[in-house]
Amino acid sequence: MLLLFTVTGSWAQKLSDNATISVITCGPHHQVSYICFGHSAFRVRDPRMGIDYAFNYGIFDFDGPDFFVNFAIGHNVYLLGVQEFEHFKNSYIEDNRYVHEQILNLTLDQKQKIFDYLAWNAAPENREYLYDYFYDNCATRIRDVVVKTLGDDVSFDGSYIATDYTIRQLTDIYLKPFPWLDLGIDVCLGLPMDKKASPYEYMFLPDYIESGFDHATVKSDSGAVPIVMEKDIIYAEHPEEQEFSITHPLYVFSFLLVVSLVITLKDFYKKKLSNWFDVILFGSTGMIGVLLLLLWFLTDHRAAANNFNLLWALPTHLIAVIAFVRAKRWLINYFLAVLVLQGLVLLFWWALPQQLNLSLIPVVVILLLRALAQYSLRKQVASR
């Protein structure tokens, strides 16, 4: 709070000629999932004023009122925090996360505009904002502050982007060490994740903020010049080996597929359904389907809309498993429809407009096998 008071109380002061404003890019954490995309911040340094601050748009309060409720409904409140740069830097170095600095090539007037805005934004009444994973986060705020304060003086050139990744594909790059998190995101977030990202939209990731500034220009007294005057590798991370894990979702679901195949063959041999297994299978996928509908229609998670995972996670499965109790005859037609639908999902897997996680293929095959068993054996009983 003392640092916050110092900054907001000095916002009207003028920076000296020795002041520098930098963009700081910090690498991802390969062991902690929620910081696997890296981080961005501003550094404002003025030896004459005796300040060296990190302005960090990635602050949130776990202990804040209704934090987890707001997180669930997509109403994520983040804020701009300010701390001594030395403390900020050391926290990333301790976690073996690289720290890069881009000192911006700005006039004194341009530096003052950015500093004034940051100091105003850091005030308690101004520092909160609604966080969006892909369009308004700790990285995009760095770009947006520069654009908001400098206007047409700054220009980002995205022609260096040689790929045409979707937002989902961009996130996948960073989620390789966290396959279960990758699966969870792929299941919960729908078609909006599969739009082709423009070079400007690549900058929801800190690495692309860094490269975006590397290819940006700013107006100076002598015309347009590169906005990055100097780059400094404050800390280079040490390589860490990624350990192989048999608990990868593809391996886990493949094992369950083998179990499901054994149970299905046994059911056909004995002409008796293992309903206990199907209650677990269709009940759990039905609950996932209900969750996806809630995320789509009852939350502010814009990326959760139009979710094609509902093709396998059918909410109607919950009704079906309840109907097991009285062996309803309509279940024959229901599981025939499920059988056909899962077959079509597998057949057109690569043609779907939404990229489904490959680890889900065994899950869809399990649903197909058990739908086949339910349909065939119930039909045999009904025809006797």
Is 131 found in the same domain as 104? yes
Is 263 found in the same domain as 209? no
Residues 345, 366: contact at Cβ < 8 Å? no
Count of all residues that appear for the chain in the document: 384
Find the domain containing 278 and state its range. 249-382
168: in domain: no
What stretches in the chain show pLDDT beneath 70? 1-12, 33-34, 62-72
Q: Considering 235, 263, 291, which residue would you say is the last residue of a domain? A: 235
Q: pTM here?
A: 0.90
Is 302 found in the same domain as 216? no
pLDDT in tens, 283-320: 999 999 999 999 999 998 899 999 999 999 999 999 99
Residue 86 CB contacts under 8 Å (≥ 6 apart), including other chains: 52
Is 279 found in the same domain as 210? no
What's the rounded Cα separation, in Å, for the pair 58 and 78? Answer: 7
Can you tell me which residue has the tokens 């004194």? 108
Domain count within the chain: 2
Is 205 found in the same domain as 260? no
For the four alpha carbons of 98, 99, 105 and 109, in that order, the dihedral sign comes to: positive
Is 68 found in the same domain as 210? yes
Residues 283, 318: contact at Cβ < 8 Å? yes
Is 210 found in the same domain as 64? yes
pLDDT at 7: 54
Q: Helix, strand or coil for residue 275?
A: helix
Q: Is 99 left (phi over 0), alpha (psi -120 to 50) or beta?
A: beta
223: in domain: yes
pLDDT at 72: 62
Is 128 found in the same domain as 272? no
pLDDT at 66: 61
Is 352 found in the same domain as 255? yes
Residues 315, 293: contact at Cβ < 8 Å? yes
Is 215 found in the same domain as 276? no
CA–CA–CA angle 363, 249, 307 (5° rounding) = 55
Which amino acid, one-letter code, is at 120? W
pLDDT in tens, 173-230: 999 999 999 999 999 999 999 999 999 999 999 999 999 999 999 999 889 999 999 9
Q: Helix, strand or coil for residue 234?
A: strand
What's the rounded Cα separation, in Å, for the pair 149 and 114? Answer: 6
pLDDT at 1: 40
Is 205 found in the same domain as 261? no
Q: Dig out the tokens for 30 from the structure.
A: 């390969």
Is 23 found in the same domain as 148? yes
